[in-house]
Amino acid sequence: MSKVKILALHGPNLNLLGQREPDVYGSMTLEEIDRALEDRGKKLGVSIDSYQSNHEGELVDRIQAAAIDFDGILINPAAFSHYSYALRDALSAAGLPVIEVHLSNVFARETFRHHSVITPVAEGMVCGLGPDSYLLGLEALVNILKKERR
């Protein structure tokens, strides 16, 4: 049985992690998060590809490509959560299990952040736990994929 492959997607401005507004988003950089995901992936026996973009279209392209090579998607849609129906349609079309994650507790911030157009097409959502949102989201995704494989 081939190794489980997971695509970790990071939405707009997440490349700035660690440098800016650390009180909201923490002091860890995106590279560090990606490395932590990789490490955790190794322990869980899955491989992980990471991709960040500030371009909605590039994320859509990447999701479409993923439908062929990957088994699941871990996504922090960042600001796109609130309006990118294109992203939603891409995830829905991909037909893979999706876990949505957010570093901050979006429900304790500005009203517009309380609504995500992505969650209804995801399996589940994790928010407010900082980098742990990613790591626990990854675990959840791997568990879902393992169940499917059985």
Decide whether 34 or 84 has the Cβ nearer to a second copy: 84
Active site residue 25: yes
Catalytic residue among 55, 85, 102, 115: 102
Min. distance of Cβ 5 from a second copy in angstroms?
19
Min. distance of Cβ 6 from a second copy in angstroms?
15
CB 62 within 8 A of CB 90: no
Contacts of 29 (CB under 8 A, 6+ apart): 17, 18, 19
**What are phi and psi for residue 77, nearest 5 degrees?**
-75, -5
Could you tell me which of 6, 7, 29 has the C-alpha nearest to residue 16?
29
Q: Return residues touching a second copy (CB under 8 A).
A: 11-13, 15-16, 20-21, 53-58, 60-61, 64, 67, 78-80, 82-86, 88-90, 92-95, 99, 105, 107-108, 112, 116-117, 119-129, 132-133, 136, 139-140, 143-144
Min. distance of Cβ 55 from a second copy in angstroms?
3
CB 91 within 8 A of CB 63: yes
